[in-house]
Structure 1
Amino acid sequence: MGIMDGEKSTIMTLIDRYAVFGHPIRHSKSPRIHRLFAEQTGQALEYTAVEVPSELFQTAVAMFFAEGGKGLNCTVPLKELAWRYADRKTERAQLSKAVNTLALQPDGSLLGDNTDGIGLVTDLLANHAIVLSDIRILILGAGGASRGIIAPILEQSPQTLVIANRTVDKAVQLAAEFHDKGPITGCGYDALENRQFDLILNATSASLSGQLPPLPGGLLAAGGNCYDLAYGNEPTAFVRWGLENHAVKSLDGLGMLVEQAAEAFFIWRGVRPQTRPVIELLNSERQA
């Protein structure tokens, strides 16, 4: 090995390694987002996307950290597996029963966190000036995506939070788990008739395939807003529904994606990146 090879080897060992695991993962924007954060903050790190099916999750995580990895993001369908794998969990991860961020601790243990909810709330408050306190909020869907955002929303003191789902019992049960955190109830879609909400959040995956839950007319109050946790290069079916129903703002989840990534970056690096330039860049690229 020459001197230059030795120097290159030393430099490589100084670069901390991070990754996102998921299945499928090839369209993930996370590597780009974290590289932009690293450039902006002067952090030396590597961040890659790795295709990991559920049955290989434990082996892949163990190998990643054994080979010097510092932190992982986990996306669908691995968040519940990551929750079980983490040695310790933050309160928000414990409540959500899902982990999207694993951070290696100084003692070698893995801390599990869920940054989805804070990512959503930050996008709504900081980027879109949508106030959540003392308003009527509706979440469509009672799956894992909903569970991850409930506690951070209730922390903002809404007037009421309703979870609507095709399977009524699932919505009622999920609401019951958070009853001590604020004014929350669960119901079926038919119970939304003659009710109005100031903010409607779509936490189902239906709109990506062009479908919507059965939503009654007049559901969105005058001056209300809509937000789809999913995102795409084209407006989702729910974003279009919001516009058709005269939402002041009808948004998708690209900002949430960047904000939850920024929270993970802060957990790992202790540095909080500026998100707005990254959101603006990604928005301009998909509108080109």
Structure 2
Amino acid sequence: MDRYAVIGQPVAHSKSPAIHARFARQTGQTLAYEAIEVAPERLAEHLAELHAKGYAGLNVTLPHKIAVMALCEAVSERAQRAGAVNTLIRTDTGWRGDNTDGEGFIRDLQRLGIAVAGRRVLVLGAGGAARGILEPLLAQRPAELVVSNRNPWKPEALAEDFKALGTVVPRTHLSLKGDRFDLIVNATSAGHQGRMIALPGQLLATGGDAYDLSYGAAFTPFREWAQSQGAARIADGLGMLVEQAAAAFALWRGQRPQTAPVIEALR
């Protein structure tokens, strides 16, 4: 039986084992999937151990998504641009790294019927989560893609890094005052501290949509803010979680499972 796992710290709360168990049943495949706690200082050692034990693939979650890149024998172009790896595929001699977060994000937007093409899009935050979704967002050809942060340095760096793929407009949160956007994506971690970042006034255009990469309790502050903005649709990142897992499953098993019934079950 092929063995898979998600590695991280902490990882006991991960929904990945339940998600992949449903994928396996749905596609009629037999596999084992578990959550493995891995301390940062033992990451290299654990990867070698799991390879020696014959694990066929791994999902990677916090805090290892960046550090694991240096331990891969090859890394996909999209993972290199994202600056992070969330999926490992076994090779004869090591691990190949990929990143399915951006693909999962766009597929969830499509599932929800939230358009990007021709719309003004604002991404809040300029850290790793934002970096992971910029390439697929640009590929959808928005009318404008703005990335904002508390200070200008990170958005400016992102604009430079992604300029070959399209135009990213760097802004500070404060400088957004008076602007209106058709889609606002929260890629900050503020919700995990139970708060919403400070933003100036009305930012969402009439009929605009709001999407948070977080889910669960961390989604609440952004949801309440989006409601106050009069958002037409407000979505959390649970669908993205399932969609990126489906993309990883397809890389491993050569078959993409249906995500809608799994998202519904998790709800």
TM range (shorter): over 0.9
Alignment of 1:69 with 2:61, yes or no, is no
Partner of 2:178: 194
2:195 pairs with 1:211: yes
Which stretch shows the higher mean deviation, 136-145 or 235-244? 235-244
* 2:39 corresponds to: 53
Q: Give me the TM-score of the superposition, normalised by structure 2.
A: 0.97
Q: Kindly, what percent of the aligned residue pairs are identical?
A: 49
The Cα offsets for residues 90-125 of structure 1, whole Å up to 9 and x where unpaired, read as 1110101100000013x4342110000010000001
Q: Identify unmatched segments of 5+ residues in structure 2.
A: none
Partner Cα distance (1:251, 1:205) in 2? 16
**In the alignment, what sits opposite 1:100?**
86
Q: What runs of 5+ residues in structure 1 fail to find an aligned partner?
A: 1-14, 284-288
Distance 1:188 1:123, change over 3 A: same
Aligned residues of 2:191 and 2:219 also touching (Cα < 8 A): no
Map Cα deviations across residues 210-266 of structure 1 (whole Å, 9 max, x no partner).
211111221001110111101005852101211121111111100000000000000
Structure 2 residue identity aligned to 1:68: G
Kindly report structure 1 stretches of 4+ aligned residues shifted beyond 4 Å: none
* Structure having greater relative contact order (Cα 8 Å, sep ≥ 6): 2
One-letter amino acid of the counterpart of residue 159, structure 2: A
Rounded Cα–Cα distance in structure 1 between residues aligned with 2:223 and 2:253: 34
Secondary structure class of the residue paired with 1:217: coil
Structure number with bigger Rg: 1
CA contact (8 A) 2:177 2:203 kept: yes
> 1:159·1:183 contact (CA, 8 Å) conserved in 2?
no
Are the aligned partners of 2:51 and 2:94 in contact in 1 as well (CA < 8 Å)? no
Matched ranges for 1:14-53 at <5 A: 15-53=1-39
CA contact (8 A) 1:167 1:188 kept: yes
The number of residues matched between the two structures is 267
Measured in 2, the distance between the counterparts of 1:134 and 1:95 equals 23
Q: Which amino acid aligns with 1:113?
A: D
CA contact 2:192–2:218 (8 Å) conserved in 1: no
Could you say if the C-alpha distance between residues 235 and 140 of structure 1 is closer, same or farther in structure 2, counting changes exceeding 3 Å? Answer: closer
- The structural deviation recorded for 1:175 is 1.6
- Indicate yes or no: 2:215 matched with 1:231: yes
Look up the SS of the partner of 1:64 in the other structure: helix
2:139 and 2:218 mapped to 1: Cα distance? 32
Calculate the aligned-residue CA RMSD, in Å: 1.1
Q: Deviations over 1:186-225 (max 9, x none)?
A: 1111110111111111111101222111112210011101
Instruction: State the alpha-carbon separation in 2 of the partners of residues 271 and 120 from structure 1.
Output: 19
Does the CA contact (< 8 Å) of 2:192 and 2:217 recur in 1?
A: no
Q: Secondary structure at the match of 2:29?
A: coil
Q: Is the 8 A contact 2:159 2:167 kept in 1?
A: no
Task: Give the 3-state SS of the residue equivalent to 1:247 in structure 2.
Answer: coil
The separation in 2 between residues aligned to 1:41 and 1:108, in whole angstroms, is 29
Alignment partners' CA distance in 1, 2:76 and 2:136: 13
Are the equivalent residues in 1 in contact too, given 2:158–2:168 (CA < 8 A)?
Answer: no
Question: C-alpha separation between the residues in 2 aligned to 1:160 and 1:217?
Answer: 20
TM-score by structure 1 length?
0.90
Map of 1:10 onto structure 2 = none
